[in-house]
Structure 1
Amino acid sequence: MIRSLRVRLMLAAAVLAVLFMLALLPALQKAFSLALQESIEQRLASDVTTLISAARIERGQLKMPALLPDERFKLPESGLLGYIFDRNGTLVWRSRATRDQHIDYRPRYDGRGNEFARARQSDGEEFFVYDVEIKLLGGKSAAYSIVALQPVREYQHTLDGLREKLYLGFGAALLALLVLLWAGLTWGLRSLRHLSRELDQVESGAREGLSREHPRELLRLTGSLNRLLHSEREQRQRYRDSLDDLAHSLKTPLAVLQGVGESMGKGGDQREQARILQSQIERMSQQIDYQLQRASLRKSGLVRHQVELKPLLESLCNTLAKVYRDKRVQITVDVPDRARVPMEQGALLELLGNLLENAYRLCLEQVRVSLRGAAGELELCIEDDGMGVPPDQRQRILQRGERLDRQHPGQGIGLAVVKDIVDSYDARLHLDDSPLGGAAFRVVFILD
């Protein structure tokens, strides 16, 4: 399927141009053929008039001068043939140019006056014939058919030459037309390319909306896109504000409940009820944290950010090195300078923070971060040399609240948030075995 609008328009215009020229070519050939035949008819009529002016009637007999006004009648190679027949169709005179010609033509003296037609000979050769009936000649009564003939092959040769020139001319005209169409479409679609550049700037976050410097036909589209962008920003902000308000409104009741649970836990007979109460409070707090992170880190609809990866990695690794300084983790960063990842900075920080914290916490002493790109994809891989994750547990730990490590504190929502962020960016998250011996989390982004 052709995805380029310019190529589609060009192909449609080229097909229409070719069809138009194919329809016009026969019409032009027919018009030229009729004009050429009309010209031949007029010339033959003029030749017949020359013969009539030279003819004389003496003592009831036709007399023609030895020298005719038109010398072509006596030149065999001229192709101009002249004949005079009487009322009975008997040949009474012929021009010198007809000496080597054997023309099988018999006029019909039927009062039609004059006639222009074609006559085909037994050998297949054709002639244009102009036949004029004469009743008065030189003021005297006469009954003759004066005929001028010309071979059709000359007409056909001229017509073939014209057809060849028409084909060449139409081919050159079509080529020039296609070049002009391509230039016109390129100029006409320049506004769409300008709109595309502005959309790229909106997606990258370089601008907040589209300008009004576009053709009138596109202003409605750009206005709708600007309203959509504005509405999306407002909706996302309202969503975040509402969740923040909800979280703040729940924090105080949860703190009160937690205090009540601790007070109840001090009494021996109410320890079980206190444990259940604190478990439910922790679960509620976990759900609130999860929903807040999930809502604030999802991909926006139109804006596509590009964030440089290496500075974020260095900042996070420095922070985690201080947190886990007793383990003396050796971090290897195999990321090209200036490499960018198609995510918002907040979402990328949350994703890297969860995966790196997970790797630092579970590794023995090595963590490796790498970035590879190939075939329209970008793969971010975070590995460690820890115990790894059994294959039958890999799907479970990506679910909310599920954890394999029970020795360290946590709510088990980190990987679930990572999975949500990856899904919101139409990326893929794979959990494999690492050559280092532990787990390898691979995030694969699809590049547009």
Structure 2
Amino acid sequence: MIGSLRVRLMLAATILAVLFMLALLPAMQGAFSLALQDAIEQRLASDVTTLISAARVENNRLLMPEQLPDERFNLADGNLLGYIYSREGQLVWRSKDTLDANINYKPRYDGRGNEFARIRQDNGQEFFVYDVEVKLLGGKSAAFSFVALQPAREYDATLGGLRDNLYLGFGAALLVLLALLWVGLTWGLQALRRLSQELDEIESGTRESLSEQHPRELLRLTGSLNRLLFSEREQRSRYRDSLDDLAHSLKTPLAVLQGVSEGMAQRPEDREQAWVLQAQIERMSQQISYQLQRASLRKSGLVRHQVRLQPVLQSLCDTLDKVYRDKQVQVTFDLPEPCLVPIEQGALLEMLGNLLENAYRLCLSEVRVSVRVLNGIEICVEDDGPGVPLDQRTRILQRGERLDRQHPGQGIGLAVVKDIIESYSARLTLGDSPLGGAAFRIQFPPA
């Protein structure tokens, strides 16, 4: 399937132009052939008139002069053949050029006066014939048929040359026409190219909406797209506000419950119930956080994000260094410059925050973050911890599944990461790191 609109239009125009020219060629050849035959007929009629004007009858006998006014009848190697037949069909006179010609032609006295035709001899030669019936001196016995013939080879050669010239001319005209069509289509499709550029600018975040500087045929499309963009922004804004309101409204009851559980934990008889309550509160908090993250951290439909990776990594690592200050984790970055990731900043923070928190928590002393730009962008987060057994790698990406039972949590961090990655059409793989631990690789598709 042809993906280019310009190529499709050019292909359609080429087919139509070729079909038009193929239909036009026979019509032009036929018109030229008729015009050429008409010219031959007029010339032969003039030659017959010359014969008639030179003829005279004495005693019912046709007399012709030795030298005719038209020199072509007097030349033995001319291309003009002249005959005069009696009413009985007997040849009574012939021009000098016919002495070596063996032409089988018999005039017809059918009362039509004159006849123009093309005849073919037994040897394959073809001639144009103009035959005129004349009654000299008004006598019935003095009726003759004056005939002028011309070989058809010149006509065929002229028509063949015309055909060749037509093919060459039409071929050159077709090439010129296609070149002009290509230029015209390029100019005509500039509006679509400008529209595409503006859409790219909207995706990159440098433009808010499409301009109105487009042909009127596209204004309805651009207006619909602008309304769609505005509606999407409004919907996302309302959605985020609703999520913020929900998070704020749930935060206070959970804090109250947390305070109650801490108060209960001070009483020995209620300590066990307090631990159960605290565990359920923590689980509720994490589940609410997870669901809010799933709902809010989605790639917007028409806007393409580009976030610098270095500042995000540095901010996350600074925070985790304070949380895990006792470990003294050494973090190294291997990033190209500049390093832009096609993801929303909030989603990038949540995704890398979960991966780096796992790496800090499970590593011995070293964490490394590297980026490769080959076929898309690949982010790799590695550590020197115990790693993940091969038979457990699929399971830990599922919600609620954890290998580490020594630290609190509900096992939803990697599930959040997986959801975010899938929402951006990226791919998460888990392998072994040269550092000795696990290596989480996130592969973003090419833009």
Q: TM-score range by the shorter chain?
A: over 0.9
The SS at the match of 1:304 is coil
**Structure 1 spans left out of the alignment, 5+ residues:** none
1:22 aligns to what?
22
CA distance in 1, matches of 2:325, 2:139: 138
1:132 aligns to what?
132
Deviations 1:345-384 (A, max 9, x none): 222222222212221221122222222233x432111111
Q: Please tell me whether residue 379 in structure 1 is matched to residue 378 in structure 2.
A: yes
The SS at the match of 1:133 is strand
2:91 aligns to what?
91
> In structure 1, what residue type is equivalent to 2:250?
L
2:394 aligns to what?
395
CA distance in 1, matches of 2:45, 2:75: 19
CA distance in 2, matches of 1:269, 1:103: 139
Q: Please tell me whether residue 442 in structure 1 is matched to residue 441 in structure 2.
A: yes
Displacement of 1:138 in angstroms is: 5.3
Determine what percentage of the aligned residue pairs are the same residue.
75
Displacement of 1:315 in angstroms is: 3.6
Q: What does residue range 6-85 of structure 1 map to in structure 2 within 5 Å?
A: 6-85=6-85
Displacement of 1:434 in angstroms is: 1.4
> In structure 1, what residue type is equivalent to 2:365?
E
Q: 1:377 to 1:410 in 2, by over 3 A?
A: same
Work out whether residues 384 and 436 of structure 1, in 8 Å CA contact, stay in contact via their aligned partners in 2.
Answer: yes
Displacement of 1:118 in angstroms is: 1.3
CA distance in 1, matches of 2:306, 2:251: 35
The SS at the match of 2:77 is helix
The SS at the match of 1:389 is coil
Displacement of 1:265 in angstroms is: 4.0
TM-score by length of 2: 0.95
**Structure 2 spans left out of the alignment, 5+ residues:** none
Give the number of equivalent residue pairs.
Answer: 446
> In structure 2, what residue type is equivalent to 1:442?
R
Deviates more, 1:345-354 or 1:149-158: 345-354
Work out whether residues 331 and 366 of structure 1, in 8 Å CA contact, stay in contact via their aligned partners in 2.
Answer: yes
Q: Please tell me whether residue 289 in structure 1 is matched to residue 300 in structure 2.
A: no
CA distance in 2, matches of 1:398, 1:219: 47
Q: What does residue range 23-422 of structure 1 map to in structure 2 within 5 Å?
A: 23-135=23-135, 137=136, 142-374=142-374, 376-422=375-421
Work out whether residues 430 and 442 of structure 1, in 8 Å CA contact, stay in contact via their aligned partners in 2.
Answer: yes
Deviations 1:152-198 (A, max 9, x none): 11111000000000000000000000000000000000000000000
Deviations 1:14-39 (A, max 9, x none): 11111111111111111111111111
Aligned-CA RMSD value: 1.8
TM-score by length of 1: 0.95
Deviations 1:75-114 (A, max 9, x none): 2433111100001111100111212111111111221211
Work out whether residues 394 and 431 of structure 1, in 8 Å CA contact, stay in contact via their aligned partners in 2.
Answer: yes
The SS at the match of 1:179 is helix
Deviates more, 1:165-174 or 1:233-242: 233-242
CA distance in 2, matches of 1:326, 1:261: 29
CA distance in 1, matches of 2:367, 2:42: 101
Q: 1:335 to 1:77 in 2, by over 3 A?
A: farther
Displacement of 1:409 in angstroms is: 4.1
The SS at the match of 1:78 is coil
Q: 1:383 to 1:138 in 2, by over 3 A?
A: farther
> In structure 2, what residue type is equivalent to 1:436?
L
CA distance in 2, matches of 1:243, 1:45: 101
CA distance in 2, matches of 1:337, 1:76: 95
Q: 1:330 to 1:76 in 2, by over 3 A?
A: farther
